[in-house]
Amino acid sequence: MVSSKAILAGSSLAALTLFYPGGSAMAQTTAPTTTLPSVEVDAPKQTQAPRRPKVRVAVAKRRATTQARPQTEAPAAVEGPSDRFDAARQSVLPPGGATTHTLNHQAIEALPQGSNASLDKVLLQFPGVTQDSAASGDLHVRNEHANLQYRINGVMLPDGVGAFGQILDTGIVGSLSLLTGALPAQYGQRTAGVLDITTKADAFNNSGVVGVYGGSHGTISTNVEYGGTAGQTQYFLSGRFLQNNLGIENPTPSVNAIHDRTNQEKGFLYLSTMIDPTSRLTFMSGVSNATFQIPNNPGQTPAYTAFGVSDFDSSRLNEHQNEFNQFNVVSYQTSNGEFDTQTSYFNRYSQLHFYPDPIGDLVFNGVSSDVYRQSVVNGIQQDTAWRIGYAHTLRFGLSVSAERTLVNSGTTVLPLADPADPTAGTIDAPFSVFDSSAKTGWLIGTYVQDEWKITNNLTLNAGLRFDQMYQFVDANQLSPRVSLTWKPFDGTTFHAGYARNFTPPSQVIASPVNLALVTPPGAPANTQTPEVGQNSPVLPERSHVFDVGVVQKIYPIPGLEVGADAYYKKARDLLDDGQFGAAYVLSGFNYDRGENVGVELKSTYRNGNFSAYANLAWAKQIATSVVSNQYLFGADELAYISGHYIYTDHAQMLSGSAGASYLWEGTRYSVSMIYGSGLRSGFANTDHLPGYTQVNFGLSHDFNIVAPNKPTTVRFDVVNAFDTIYQIRDGSGIGVFAPQYGPRRGFYVGMSQRF
């Protein structure tokens, strides 16, 4: 992709609320036991004394009938214990006073595009979630850049190295919950939000689904999934292939992007077996392989001469990027009524390779960078809940992970004709430099916390967390967490909380660069020589977070619920990152001080087959003084930030979402909307882009063509129905390399068959 924005030195060397369709719900809660009526997939309190009798009855019944019962009825013998263990896992890792928004699989399917939408597009329906470009992380939670933690069945997935590839497919989701606010002590590292994904729990009935979906922008997607039960073992597997001509946002407002093809394959496997009535062993594995063409911006003016070429058609640039991700998780879970534990081993392999256009990038940017990033993570996580009588539940745990990262950057640059006068141009004598950084780092975290039911209506959750990092910087912190949940009346829930957070930077993004390779006297002054030759290491972020909120059911209007939440964050060494060169990779840095404040409002309504929601969030994040990787900035911008509080580039003042769903005579009608007042732009983020609204429509119907219990689902969706032309990014602002536009209007048709 080409931008007229000047390339900062060292850029490539840095390695450069809520939806309830179909009777399902997205809910905001403030305590482990507070869930909207229509979301009942997680029942954390069904873990008490009745377990053992139920298990004995189920097992005895199975043994007595094992010879006569056909295998297709096997789920009846396993679902009871499995459901108990799912509930026990929720008891181990409850939200504990945090603000929680939940969306289950049925609600996702009722949205426009359903599970054919990528996970980040689904998350935009949560309050306080802001849309961004793929190069900048797809989305932001409460105006934070990245700092979002992904968990699958309670196990934390380590960060990958990809800029825009997503490893998880929406189709595997049984339910997903976004936790924000003052998180309890069991949640460390990424703390802007925790996306807790629970895999499908209703997919083990020896059946499956095959589907095809496609339409505008050359989109074709095929998917297949199957789940079943064999004895005491449950299994589920899924796969999806996606191909389209809009892999990354279009840098122009045109309907069709130039050179923007993507191919993506994703797979997922879940295996779970009951060892005995008190223990379960689970294995999960996911893989994602994706290739992306980097879209072109035609009509750009060449700025340099390289290899004798000074005239180059920017629409014919040929950059592309490959991303590969894989994770594996093995979990051993026990539950005996008094203790619930889950011990997990996890690993993740992540790889990214950006291929430049060797001549075109030099002609337009003065730099051509071949960037390779790789990360291998292995770790263990253990969490325990111990019920001490009625009033107290003690929770404690430990996590340890080791990460090996490799960052290579092979860069071709042009020497300056006059080092004292950068405007004098360059010499057509390209030379190459190679920078490499490898590191094995460690992250260690441990916590203990007590959930104290002071009264039936008042719960105090207090804990202490300790984190230690050994990476490019060694640091640690002891972090207190406390929250109070109060239910003074039926249907009313107040919560208030405080959390001290410690956030290590992503090791890949924090990898240092060797500025001597492009800085005199080690090298002639060139197009990569930074204006500021300072390269302080990226530091962990330390912050105080305060959060208070209320959720209220409006009984005079059955089905209506409203809520409000306010938060304030004060941070030292506020983490941020950005794309500072043509390569679609991110480089990290810190602001010395930062503040983040916001208010979220939500309302939901459900009446029979009709449901609707609306969210509105106001937020403001400001920061001052860059204290790491200063070479990424121009001297004037760096000086301005040192003397002023500025908006971070991903700060958006207002964001909103709304929608509705209605099931009428077997046909589902749905609409969703997102609104943004515009992300920051301009010198030191002193400006912002215009606001926008995108509206999507969906229509689906089940036909009983094969059999009544094996429906054929046909759907039709319109994305950006009013063809609104809007910019997500305009190519200006801190860490923003090129413009990106929202999608133009698209029409999509899909069909799926259950078998």
Instruction: Say which CATH number the domain at 690 has.
Output: 2.40.170.20
Position 444, amino acid: I
The pLDDT of residue 136: 82
Assign 61 to helix, strand or coil. helix
The pLDDT of residue 715: 97
Contacts of 540 (CB under 8 A, 6+ apart): 469, 473, 475, 477, 502, 503, 504, 505, 573, 575
Q: How far apart are CA 267 and CA 288, in angstroms?
A: 7
Q: What are the Cα distances from residue 292, in Å, to 247, 303, 307, 359, 729? A: 6, 26, 27, 20, 19
Q: How far apart are CA 97 and CA 156, in angstroms?
A: 20
Q: How far apart are CA 411 and CA 16, in angstroms?
A: 10
In a domain, 30, yes or no: no
In a domain, 708, yes or no: yes
Q: Are 633 and 8 in contact (CB under 8 A)?
A: yes
Q: Are 149 and 194 in contact (CB under 8 A)?
A: yes
CB atoms within 10 A of CB 584: 25
Instruction: Tell whether the torsion through CA atoms of 355, 358, 362 and 367 is positive or negative.
Output: positive
In a domain, 543, yes or no: yes
The pLDDT of residue 71: 31
For helices 75-92 and 51-65, what crossing angle results, to 10°?
160
Of 683, 678, 674, 617, nearest to 644 (Cα)?
683
Total domains present in the chain? 1
Q: How far apart are CA 91 and CA 387, in angstroms?
A: 10
Position 15, amino acid: A
What pTM was computed for the model? Answer: 0.87
DSSP per-residue codes, 632-665: GS-HHHHHHHHHS-EE-TT--SEEEEEEEEEEET
DSSP 136: G
Joined together, the tokens standing for residue 555 give 């009984």
In a domain, 40, yes or no: no
Q: How far apart are CA 469 and CA 444, in angstroms?
A: 6
Q: How far apart are CA 145 and CA 569, in angstroms?
A: 14
Residue 381's domain comprises 81-754
DSSP per-residue codes, 338-365: SEEEEEEEEEEEEEEEEE--TTHHHHHH
In a domain, 76, yes or no: no
The pLDDT of residue 145: 87
The pLDDT of residue 80: 59
Q: How far apart are CA 289 and CA 300, in angstroms?
A: 32
**Region for residue 307 given its phi and psi (left: phi exceeds 0; alpha: psi -120 to 50; beta: otherwise):** left
In a domain, 25, yes or no: no
Rg (CA), the chain: 26
Of 433, 393, 609, nearest to 529 (Cα)?
433
Element (H or E) spanning 78, and its range?
Answer: helix 75-92
The pLDDT of residue 622: 98
Q: Are 441 and 471 in contact (CB under 8 A)?
A: yes
Q: What are the Cα distances from residue 194, in Å, to 94, 118, 280, 494, 688? A: 12, 18, 25, 21, 28
Task: Using CB atoms within 10 Å of the CB of residue 489, give its burial: 0 to 12 exposed, 13 to 18 middle, 19+ buried.
Answer: exposed
Q: How far apart are CA 589 and CA 626, in angstroms?
A: 7
DSSP 159: P
Joined together, the tokens standing for residue 82 give 């499995």
Q: How far apart are CA 425 and CA 170, in angstroms?
A: 50
Of 414, 470, 476, nearest to 441 (Cα)?
470
The answer to whether the peptide bond before residue 251 is cis (omega within 30 degrees of 0) is no
In a domain, 557, yes or no: yes
Pairing of strands 431-455, 458-470: antiparallel
Contacts of 510 (CB under 8 A, 6+ apart): 471, 472, 473, 537, 538, 588
Across-strand partners of 712? 703, 753
CA dihedral 504, 510, 516, 519 (to 10 degrees): -110
Joined together, the tokens standing for residue 415 give 């020497």
In a domain, 18, yes or no: no
Q: How far apart are CA 312 and CA 579, in angstroms?
A: 24
CB atoms within 10 A of CB 92: 23
Q: What are the Cα distances from residue 286, in Å, to 149, 167, 327, 350, 502? A: 17, 7, 5, 12, 28
Please give the average pLDDT of every successive group of 10 residues along the chain, which has 755 residues. 38 34 38 37 39 35 33 39 77 81 89 93 94 87 90 84 71 90 94 90 88 97 95 93 95 96 95 93 94 95 95 96 94 91 95 96 95 96 93 96 97 93 89 96 97 95 98 98 95 96 95 94 93 95 97 95 97 94 86 98 94 96 97 96 96 96 95 97 96 97 89 96 97 93 97 94
The pLDDT of residue 55: 34
Pairing of strands 193-199, 148-152: parallel
The pLDDT of residue 64: 35
